[in-house]
Amino acid sequence: MNTTSDIVAKLWNLCHVLRDDGTSYGDYVTELTYLLFLKMAEETGSEDRIPEGYRWSDLKSRDGTDQMNFYRAMLLHLGTEAKGKVQSIYASANTSLRQPRNLAKIVSTIDGLDWYSAREEGLGDLYEGLLEKNAGETKSGAGQYFTPRVVIDTMVEVTQPQAGEVISDPAAGTFGFLTRADAYIKKQTDDLFDLSEAEQVFQRKQAFYGVELVPDTQRLALMNAMLHGMDCDVLLGDTLSPMGASVPRSDVILANPPFGTKKGGGGPTRDDFTFPTSNKQLAFVQHIYRNLKPGGRAAVVLPDNVLFADSTGEQIRADLMDKCDLHTILRLPTGIFYAIGVKTNVLFFQRGTGSDTGNTQNVWIYDLRTNMPKFGKRTPFTRKHLQPFVDAYGTDPNGGSPRTDEGEEGRFRCYSREDIAKRGDNLDITWLRDESVERAEDLPEPDVIAGEILRHLQTATEEMQALMELLDTDGGAEAGVSL
């Protein structure tokens, strides 16, 4: 019996074969999505949503050039003639494969997988394993800020989404936050069996929605949602455009918005933002706290500059602390995202239920960055590193549990709204003395060290050769060269 990780490894190994066909990691995952959907529909007895004549068995029964031509026609047909979310998954689909033998290899490998084990462990987990593998390999683009599952699970756990709530992600990516929130609710409700029939329908069809800007990523998100039994909306569009102003308000928002400035240097095209800015993360902060229902709560991954940016940034922080109770900030370690050196935090806040002023009284900051190991392949970031934060956070999702200020030697400290105002509403607060030294776990990976040594040796050799050549010439002495 194969585990999910075994199946993921087997599928991923095909990618290395297909690199010879000019297929990138991202293209490969998209290609797998087209094919896995057909096979999974067959395995789960849900082929009724796929037009007859364009199902897995129809593709598998062909070979060679005939199979490749049929596959191209199939993608076009499903993207134009299929219904609902199936059509969305295949919208504008085309294959990056060029060699019929490579298509045949993928089809035969998928068909020969241990599908009994895959169903037992969860098809959604299998697919998420592929998405995580892709993010780890690409280390750029869509995978650059792939949120580690342990961070997502912790954000979900302390935020405590509940059945009956509207839960959203305005920068949905591949839908990781919302599938984990769904899993959390299913665990609390015995896989929804504790709910009435109407409540179950709400959970499957209306409880969750996301917005994703990139068509290929939206395709992956739709697939991920469907494999987790979530028949919900993944809207294709830009949250920072007028469409973002029209999405439903939420009880819970979980997100890791994109960082940086909007392409082309222009700002968001929303006309409902009080503080116009071209900084995407600051614009997303405005959307999120404005989109929360009264009493709604959010957990959002944001880079350090949101905490200290002046001018518009300062105004947005002040507005956030007025309209919401910004009760907790978790300062995450560096090295846990695939983009090297990205410094991030998780902001936890609750929208006020009455006045839109004075909702933040105290901000608790948990420093999980100072004096932490350098995380990477040799030292993975795990739940054990986050458990002290979970314990300190308490059992109230809105940060109202009794908490202990651990003082200058501890990681958890409380700052009053007055203290923060004196700092110009700068939330980039540290107090721990950085005692990091050159420890073994902080050193670069051995292959990196070896590469640096070789590079310096090569440079030194080239410089010596150049020097010797210069000395061998008649003009060497006149040029003032000396050893």
Half-sphere exposure of 177 (CA within 13 A, CB side): 30
Share of the chain above pLDDT 70, in %: 85
Q: Which residues contact 347 (CB under 8 A, 6 or more apart)?
A: 298, 299, 300, 302, 306, 326, 328, 329
Tens digits of residue pLDDT in 417-447: 999 999 999 999 999 998 864 444 555 566 5
Q: Residue 294 domain-assigned? A: yes
Between 52 and 2, whose confidence is greater? Answer: 52
Tens digits of residue pLDDT in 36-65: 899 988 988 889 889 999 999 999 999 999
Q: Which residues contact 60 (CB under 8 A, 6 or more apart)?
A: 107, 111
Q: According to the model, what pLDDT value does residue 253 have?
A: 98
Angular region, 220: left φ>0, alpha ψ -120 to 50, beta rest? alpha
Taking each helix axis as running N to C, give the angle between helix 215-227 and helix 176-188, from 0 to 180 degrees, rounded to the nearest 10: 20
Q: Residue 428 domain-assigned? A: no
Q: Tell me, yes or no, whether 220 and 258 share the same domain.
A: yes
Q: Tell me, yes or no, whether 152 and 61 share the same domain.
A: no
Q: Residue 433 domain-assigned? A: no
Q: Tell me, yes or no, whether 358 and 462 share the same domain.
A: no
159 beta partners: none
Q: Tell me, yes or no, whether 255 and 204 share the same domain.
A: yes
* pLDDT of 227 higher than 80: yes
Q: According to the model, what pLDDT value does residue 183 have?
A: 95
303 beta partners: 344
Q: Residue 134 domain-assigned? A: no
Q: According to the model, what pLDDT value does residue 477 have?
A: 37
Tens digits of residue pLDDT in 352-395: 998 999 999 999 999 999 999 888 778 889 999 999 999 999 99
Of 86, 103, 125, the domain-final residue: 125
Q: According to the model, what pLDDT value does residue 251 have?
A: 98
Q: Tell me, yes or no, whether 64 and 161 share the same domain.
A: no
Q: Which stretches of 19-148 are DSSP H helices?
A: 25-43, 56-60, 64-81, 84-90, 100-111, 115-121, 123-138
CATH number where 371 lies: 3.40.50.150
Q: According to the model, what pLDDT value does residue 482 have?
A: 30
The tokens describing 248, both together, are 């439903």
* pLDDT of 19 higher than 90: no
Q: Residue 478 domain-assigned? A: no
Binning pLDDT at 50, 70 and 90, where does residue 465 land?
A: low
Q: According to the model, what pLDDT value does residue 437 have?
A: 46
Q: Tell me, yes or no, whether 235 and 358 share the same domain.
A: yes
Stretch 91-104: mean pLDDT: 90
Q: Residue 131 domain-assigned? A: no
Q: Are 342 and 334 in contact (CB under 8 A)?
A: yes
Binning pLDDT at 50, 70 and 90, where does residue 22 land?
A: confident
pTM of the model: 0.84
Task: State how far the Cα of 257 lies from the Cα of 285, in Å rounded to an integer.
Answer: 9
Tens digits of residue pLDDT in 232-278: 999 999 999 999 999 999 999 999 998 776 554 455 778 889 999 98
Q: How many domains does the chain have?
A: 3
Of 125, 157, 182, the domain-final residue: 125
Stretch 70-94: mean pLDDT: 93
What are the Cα distances from residue 371, in Å, to 148, 210, 332, 375? 21, 36, 12, 12
Q: Tell me, yes or no, whether 16 and 165 share the same domain.
A: no
Q: According to the model, what pLDDT value does residue 398 have?
A: 96
Q: Residue 436 domain-assigned? A: no
Q: Residue 427 domain-assigned? A: no
Q: Are 30 and 103 in contact (CB under 8 A)?
A: no
Stretch 82-87: mean pLDDT: 90
Q: Which residues contact 192 (CB under 8 A, 6 or more apart)?
A: 163, 185, 186, 199, 200, 203, 204
Q: According to the model, what pLDDT value does residue 480 have?
A: 34
Q: Tell me, yes or no, whether 17 and 50 share the same domain.
A: yes
Q: Tell me, yes or no, whether 317 and 379 share the same domain.
A: yes
Q: Tell me, yes or no, whether 406 and 292 share the same domain.
A: yes
Q: What share of the chain is helix, strand, coil (3-state, %, to 5)?
A: 50, 10, 40
Task: State how far the Cα of 309 lies from the Cα of 145, in Å rounded to an integer.
Answer: 21
Residue among 107, 108, 126 nearest 44 (CA): 126
Residue pointed to by tokens 């210069």: 470
Q: According to the model, what pLDDT value does residue 339 have?
A: 63
Q: Tell me, yes or no, whether 230 and 85 share the same domain.
A: no
Q: According to the model, what pLDDT value does residue 142 have?
A: 41
Query: Which residue range(s) make up the domain with 317?
Result: 139-422
Distance of CA 312 to the CA centre of its chain: 26
Q: Are 178 and 172 in contact (CB under 8 A)?
A: yes
Tens digits of residue pLDDT in 148-207: 899 999 999 999 999 999 999 999 998 999 999 999 999 999 999 999 999 999 999 999
Binning pLDDT at 50, 70 and 90, where does residue 17 land?
A: low
* pLDDT of 449 higher than 70: no
Q: Tell me, yes or no, whether 27 and 166 share the same domain.
A: no
